[in-house]
């Protein structure tokens, strides 16, 4: 069984960050391994931290929620780093990591939606629904396209970029601005990826048949 560390395409912002912070993540990964932690346990730890952040957001503590997300975000890359360093990667670990990533985004946005429901503010609730749906569709289009043997690289607002948008606006106590951006650009990114797949399919149709 082979667990593959998430490998973003070269040239993406995610790839840049992984290369930039490799010298930081590797020593931390080694330290966690020596403590007896496994990549999967770090994945679950990250989700628990995101849940704590969502509770803070649900009760209007946007700044502290943003701080917790900022602290937990590196764990998203650390589990893959630990899998590589330990030499014991598993395919299940890769699937678990991806699934937990999706739950983490839904839980975070759910915390904001809960807060705005208590305030009877329906526009932010709708934006949260759209942001969560768009975030899931970005990942779904990629997964479904790759299952059909298409190559889907990047996109305007992938998961890392979504956190880059969310965290600063939480720290500034302006989550509504983040929801607007996520609601619009996450769905745009899903459609952007679908368009890229369509272009690839057209090119394949134009190829001469053997």
Which sequence positions are flagged as catalytic? 101
Q: How far is residue 156's CA from residue 192's CA, in Å, rounded to a whole number?
A: 8
* Spatial separation of the C-alpha atoms in residues 89 and 18, rounded to whole Å: 18
| Residues 6+ away with beta carbon under 8 Å from 15 | 8, 9
Q: What is the DSSP letter of 158?
A: -
Q: Cβ neighbours of residue 105 under 8 Å, at least 6 residues apart?
A: 132, 135, 136, 159, 162
Task: Compute the distance between CA of residue 183 and CA of residue 153 in angstroms, rounded to an integer.
Answer: 21
Residue 151 has a CB neighbour count (10 Å cut-off) of 11
Alpha helices in 62-174 (DSSP H): 62-72, 75-86, 91-118, 122-147, 159-171
Q: Is residue 71 within 8 Å of 127, Cβ to Cβ?
A: no
């Amino acid at each position: 069984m082979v667990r593959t560390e998430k490998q973003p395409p070269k040239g993406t912002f995610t790839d840049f960050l992984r290369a930039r912070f490799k010298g930081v993540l590797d020593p931390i990964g080694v330290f966690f391994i020596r403590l007896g932690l496994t990549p999967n346990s770090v994945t679950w730890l990250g989700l628990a931290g995101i849940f704590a952040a969502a509770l803070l957001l649900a009760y209007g503590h946007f700044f502290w929620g943003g701080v917790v997300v900022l602290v937990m975000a590196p764990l998203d890359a650390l589990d893959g780093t630990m899998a590589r360093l330990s030499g014991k990667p598993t395919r299940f670990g890769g699937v678990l990591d991806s699934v937990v990533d999706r739950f983490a985004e839904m839980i975070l946005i759910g915390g904001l939606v809960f807060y705005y429901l208590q305030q009877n503010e329906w526009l932010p609730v709708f934006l949260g629904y759209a942001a969560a749906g768009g975030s899931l569709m970005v990942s779904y289009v990629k997964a479904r396209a790759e299952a059909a043997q298409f190559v889907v690289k990047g996109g305007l607002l992938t998961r890392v970029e979504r956190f880059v948008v969310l965290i600063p606006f939480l720290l500034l106590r302006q989550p509504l601005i983040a929801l607007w951006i996520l609601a619009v650009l996450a769905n745009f990114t899903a459609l952007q990826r679908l368009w890229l797949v369509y272009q690839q399919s057209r090119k394949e149709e134009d190829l001469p048949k053997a």
